[in-house]
Amino acid sequence: MASELNLSGIVKEDKFLKEYNRLVSWYRDLPEGMFISRLLREYKYSEPDLEESRMMCFEALKAYDDFPFGVQADLKRRVTTRKGEKLSVKLATDIYKLVSVMEWEDYCDIRELISLSKSRPSQGKTPKTTITGADVSCFMTSGEVLLLKDNVTALQTDVLNMKQMLHAAEKIRSDQMKTFTNSLQVMKCDLLECKQFMSNCLSNFNLSVNDLKLTLQPLESAILAVSRRVSNTENILYRTNVSAITAAVQPL
């Protein structure tokens, strides 16, 4: 029986080492988003497997000498909600945080995952809360609070300046658009005037052509009459010359 227990422990330890090495390798090589995506793909979004890996990482952390939350600490139970992240994504995110602490990140990163009391307090009594070193380290000192206030004030000032700059830029853009619109209206009016002027010129030209045509009609008739008279004269001269030449060449 003892040998079976030892064998089971060896198998679990070997499984943990393989899983630990794989998770640490992903953590060192991948950013958080890619780590979570890789983990979900490897586990095929299996919530029981992700929960088992999460508990395994947490139990390994509890064995650390500097684990500040005590042996009574446990992980908060993750449940599925109608809105928000899927349960598998929450579990994968928890695993990332646990592995990050294994890789020497601050224990404060997993403070929200820890449930310090397993048993429910009896009715009518206020549960006793124990503040550990990790809890104290998660709070800020007065100097840090003042520094944070200064940073917030500076950020608010930057936001106000940015709003003023955006307002000024919007006003400039509005003025430019107004000027552009007015210019387009003026150009449109000029084009309409040009169109009207060209139409008037064309109408006047057509009228002038018609007037010229009417004026030239008598001249055309006169030219035709002169042409006919010249032709008749040529015929008369031709016949006269022929008669004279014929008479001249006849023998006496």
pLDDT digit string, tens, across residues 135-167: 444 445 666 677 787 788 888 888 888 988 998
Which residues sit opposite 74 in a β-bridge? 115
Strands (E), 94-191: 114-115
Using the structure block, give the residue that is written with the tokens 């695993």. Answer: 95
Name, in order, each residue with C-beta under 8 angstroms of 111's C-beta and a sequence gap of 6 or more. 134, 135, 138
Asked if residue 69 belongs to a domain, the reply is yes
| pLDDT value, residue 130 | 47
Q: How many CB atoms lie within 10 A of CB 182?
A: 10
Query: What is residue 251's predicted lDDT score, i.e. its pLDDT?
Result: 59
Provide the domain count of the chain. Answer: 1
The per-residue pLDDT for range 64-75, each reduced to its tens digit, is 888 888 888 889
Tell me if 237 is assigned to some domain.
Answer: no
Joined together, the tokens standing for residue 133 give 């070193």
Strands 114-115 and 74-75: antiparallel
Sorted by sequence, the CB contacts under 8 Å of residue 29 that are 6+ apart come out as none
Q: What is the pLDDT of residue 143?
A: 65
pLDDT class of 120 with cuts at 50, 70, 90: very low
212 part of a folded domain: no
Any domain includes 53: yes
Mean pLDDT of the chain: 80
Q: Which of helix, strand or coil describes residue 226?
A: helix
In a domain, 167, yes or no: no
Predicted TM-score of the model (pTM): 0.45
Beta-strand runs (E) in the chain: 74-75, 114-115
Domain limits for position 76: 2-139
Q: Provide the pLDDT confidence category of residue 82 given band limits of 50, 70 and 90.
A: low
Assess if residue 61 is contained within a domain: yes
